[in-house]
Amino acid sequence: MRLVCAALLAIFCVRAAPAVTLVLQFDEAYSTRSLAAMKREVASIVGESGIKLDWRFLADVHSAETFESLVVIRFRGACIMQPRDYMRDERGYYAFSYVSDGDVLPFSEVECDKVASSIRPELSSEQWKDRDSILGRALGRVLAHELFHMLAKSPHHSTAGVTKFALSPAQLVADRLPMTPADLRKLKSQ
């Protein structure tokens, strides 16, 4: 009996990992391989904080549904690596989160064409064969960066890792780009 009571107490005392529903809206075409790679990359970066992610498409969300925590991400441009050449534009941002009166809101926009055109020169001919997955990895890092701002409710950047102020194309396609331990602690505390 004591063992059963101890087990039940342990179950009730364990804090459930927070669940965040990410609602995705794509303005143009996207690759299912890019989407799968993006989800894996975000989960590998943000998952270390203990946050559980539930991925949904805007069209599949019903008005009567409720969510513990909700983030809406709009993907602008084509989220697919196309063989045509783009003019490389170093200006601007890969993504941004909306801010009102200094508060970071749970709404973000990702510029797929900008991410794709910036990483294209980084890809070798061998990597080009897996271009959609590599684009997904890059988009995942951009999204993980914005998720940090939205979930930590912080507009601040780190000096290292995926939450740096600016990520280079080489960092977007590198084998690994984690979140700093300090940033993971900020997410855990939310």
Q: Please write the tens of the pLDDT for every residue from 31-51.
A: 999 999 999 999 999 988 989
Q: Please write the tens of the pLDDT for every residue from 113-137.
A: 999 989 998 988 888 899 999 999 9
Residue 151's alpha-carbon distances to 21, 44, 86, 123, in angstroms, are 11, 16, 33, 31
- Show Cβ contacts of residue 59 under 8 Å, excluding neighbours closer than 6 positions: none
Amino acid, single-letter form, for residue 171? Q
Beta strands per DSSP E along the chain: 19-26, 52-57, 70-76, 95-100, 103-111
- CATH number, domain 16-188: 3.40.390.10
Q: Report the predicted TM-score, pTM, of the whole model to 2 decimal places.
A: 0.87
- Decide: helix, strand or coil at residue 127: helix
Report the candidate in 163, 37, 35, 42 with the shortest Cα–Cα distance to residue 104.
163
